[in-house]
A = this chain, B = another copy of it.
Amino acid sequence: MPEHRSRRDAVRNREAVLAAADALFSRRERPEDVTMADVAAAAGVGKGTLFRAFGDRAGLLRALYEARLVPFREAVESGPRPLGPGTAPRERVLALLDAVLCFKLDNRPLALALEENGNGSPYRAEHYAWWHGLLRAVLEEMPGLAEPGFTAHALLAATRADLVEHLAGQEGLPRERLRAQLAEFTTRVISSAPR
């Protein structure tokens, strides 16, 4: 028999909070004015419960982000081409960056909230480490490409949530145009050896 599973009300409340937060961050434009108290209220739960379940605001954001990221992780780690393994490096790099971009487009407020400094730099987040490690590994398989580590950082920087928000939101650049431009940029980066 298991030591102690979580209590029913605990898991129920955790779910409720995740759902409520998900909804709130999707609806509200400005992620920074979704307050913890708002989330608690929307979930029909006290602030204490909220903080016990997720530690702090960053923890809640991380939990939400990770949850939405699951399909992408699976697609990348064991899915079909072009995102999955066993794809030629060039094609996979393009697919990865496109996936990252699409993910941020589809989760704008959440990505924005999470990348916000104040939690600590986004570069310490584990999901960033994962993406960076993956991209770096694929880049390493490409001949004639020095500094795959930096290149991975630089390419990912082109998909920063606030840049995406600026281009897609403020400037109204359509999704497809943005994807095309990123693809073109990426292609240029990986298509030639310098010097």
Residues of A within 8 A of B (CB): 32, 112, 115-118, 121-124, 146-147, 150-151, 153-154, 157-158, 160, 162-163, 165-167, 170, 181-182, 184-185, 187-189, 191-195
A195 to B191, CA, bound (A): 9
Contacts of A187 in B (CB 8 A): 194-195
Contacts of A115 in B (CB 8 A): 117
Across the interface, do A194 and B191 meet the contact criterion of CB distance under 8 Å?
yes
A158 to B148, CA, bound (A): 14
Contacts of A166 in B (CB 8 A): 121, 123-124
Contacts of A165 in B (CB 8 A): 121
Q: Quick one: closest B residue to A113, CB to CB? A: B117
Q: Quick one: closest B residue to A153, CB to CB? A: B163
Across the interface, do B123 and A162 meet the contact criterion of CB distance under 8 Å?
yes
10 nearest A-B residue pairs (beta carbon): A192-B192, A157-B157, A123-B166, A154-B158, A150-B181, A187-B194, A116-B117, A121-B162, A188-B194, A147-B181
Q: Determine how close the nearest CB of chain B comes to the CB of A194; give it in whole angstroms.
A: 4
Having A117-B117, A117-B162, A150-B181, one finds 16 other A-B pairs with CB under 8 Å, namely A115-B117, A116-B117, A121-B166, A123-B162, A124-B170, A147-B184, A150-B182, A157-B160, A157-B163, A158-B158, A184-B194, A187-B194, A188-B188, A188-B189, A189-B189, A191-B192
